[in-house]
Structure 1
Amino acid sequence: MKRQSTAEHYQKRLSVLSDYIYENLEDDLDMDRLAEVALISPYHLHRIYRGIYGNSLTDSIRWIRLHYAADRLIKTDMSIEAIGRMAKYNSVQSFTRVFSEAFGMPPARFRREGDHVQFTQPMRKNEDYPMQEITVKDSEALTLIGFEHHGDYMKVGQQFEKLQGWLATRNLIDPSIRFFGVYFDDPDTVPTDQLRSLACITVANPDEFPMEEGLKRFDIQAGKCAVMRYKGPYANMDAAYRWLFSEWLPNSTERVGNQPAYEEYLNDVHSVPQTELLTDIYIPLE
């Protein structure tokens, strides 16, 4: 039996830790408890996490909590104080400061004026939708390999984190790597616990790729797609999809094809502000 490398050992332990974090975001998540879950000494957990993922454990937890806070601001009428408490901030002032740094505006303004608001406006005939670039083009065939996710699309980042750790510990990350998400179900019609998605990368030579248990392959055929270049927080993207299907598609001459929607992530959530995230949303057409 092939012996597991030290890097692979720690990647598996941090994968367990990631599951725990996503399932317990509203708890305190003190470092001693996290070290206990990961079975890694609290003296070394931060260094090992940064060595594999390239960013700090504290920053990752903060980002995930702010991601959920933005989602609650958009989808609920919860008070800003309550949302801040769920994100583990002791005061509205501290929550507002950190949220503003990440999203470019305070929570109250984000709720009123965030990118999601623009998608509530109907499309005007013979006008391109303002602030959005939508093109119809022939897309390339893709072979994708990654980890499946079942459940809330808001939590698919959990699988991307695992995928990045898996790649890093096997020296498979290089500047040409492209990250994609495939979304098989409509979250407005399919129960949340039954949603299916895939966090993945493109692979040029799949027969030579070191497939392991848990990794899945999915092939996307070349063909015509509607592509939206979306700029902004991932928490706002539900509104973009609704607008595409309720406004853009009926006002176009196009019909959807027989492949699922997919996304390409063009920059890194840990290296740019939320407002600068770039995502290409692909809707396959006939």
Structure 2
Amino acid sequence: MKRQSTADHYRKRLSVLSDYIYENLEGDLDMDKLAQVALISPYHLHRIYRGIYGNSLTDSIRWIRLHYAADRLIKTDLSIEVIGRMARYNSVQSFTRVFSETFGMPPARFRREGDHVQFSHPIRKNEDYPMQEITIRESEAMTLIGLEHSGDYMKIGQQFEKLQGWLTTRNLIDENTRFFGVYFDDPDTVPTEELRSLACIKASNADDFPLENGLKRFDIQAGKCAVMHYKGPYANMDAAYRWLFSEWLPNSTERIGNQPAYEEYLNDVRSVPQTQLLTDIYIPLE
């Protein structure tokens, strides 16, 4: 039997570790336990993780927890203290400091004045749209290759992490790689556990691309799209979608097409502040 490469061995171990982290975000993710789950020596876990994903394991865990904290601030009435504890901060002060560094404002202000708020008001005559650029343009035909995700869209980052690891170990990722997310269901009408999405990249050589380890192919047809150039945290994007479908679309002259919505991520979530994240949201039209 052919022995798997060292890169594949560690990628698979880190994939198991990623599953464990996402399932235990509110628990104590100490390094000894994480090393035990990954079956990698605690002396080398950080180096291997950084070598494959390009960032530290500690930073990744912190970012994921803050990502969920932002989502809870928007979608729940839980106190800031409770949300901070869920993100594993011992005090409101420490949670507020780190959240402010990441999102550009403290949690209370984010809940009250974050980008999601601009999408909470209906369009009125002669009123400008929210401060996000929306254009109608012809989109390109693309073949996307990626990993399926089932469940909460907020957790699709787990599949992007696994995809990046797979690409890195095969030298299939560079500065020109374009990342996309395809979202097949409406989270307001489909139960969360039944939501379907795809974490993927654009494949320039799709016919030769190795479809292994659960990778799937999805073709995007060329056609007219409404494109929102969105700037801000991913946690706010649910509000943007609701606004697009309940306010912008009925007040436009456009009709929805027969392809799912998809997004292109224009910068790296771990290299820029949350307030500077750039995403193009594509809504296919007739």
User: What's the TM-score, normalizing by structure 1?
Assistant: 0.99
Q: Distance in 2 between matches of 1:75 and 1:190?
A: 17
Q: What secondary structure sits across from 2:250 in the alignment?
A: coil
1:104 aligns with 2:114: no
Match of 1:246, SS state, is helix
Query: CA separation in 2, counterparts of 1:264 and 1:129?
Result: 21
Deviations 1:40-79 (A, max 9, x none): 0011000000010000000000000000000000000000
Residue 4 (structure 1) shift: 1.3
Match status 1:136 vs 2:139: no
Distance (whole Å) between structure 2 residues aligned to residue 115 and residue 15 of structure 1 = 33
Question: Which position in structure 2 is the counterpart of 1:201?
Answer: 201
Q: How far did 1:127 drift?
A: 4.1
Give the corresponding residue for 1:285. 285
Distance 1:148 1:156 in 2: 9
Question: SS of the residue aligned with 2:21?
Answer: helix
Q: How far does residue 242 in structure 1 lie from its aligned partner after superposition?
A: 0.2
- How do 1:1-286 residues align onto structure 2 when only pairs under 5 Å count? 1-286=1-286
5+ residue gaps, structure 2:
none
State the alpha-carbon separation in 2 of the partners of residues 60 and 213 from structure 1: 23
% identical equivalent positions:
87
How far is the alpha carbon of 1:206 from its aligned partner?
0.9
Give the C-alpha shift of residue 130 in structure 1.
Answer: 3.4
Offset, 1:128: 3.7
Confirm or deny: 8 A CA contact 2:11 2:165 kept in the other structure.
Answer: yes
Measured in 1, the distance between the counterparts of 2:227 and 2:9 equals: 39
Partner deviation per Cα, 1:200-242 (whole Å, 9 max, x = no partner): 0000111111221300000010000000000000000000000
- State the 4+ residue runs in structure 1 displaced beyond 4 angstroms: none
Measured in 1, the distance between the counterparts of 2:163 and 2:130 equals 35
Residue type of the alignment partner of 2:29: L
User: What do you get for the CA RMSD once the two structures are aligned?
Assistant: 0.8
Say how many residue pairs are matched: 286
Query: C-alpha separation between the residues in 2 aligned to 1:125 and 1:40?
Result: 61
- Give the structure-2-normalised TM-score: 0.99
Q: Secondary structure of the equivalent of 1:52?
A: helix
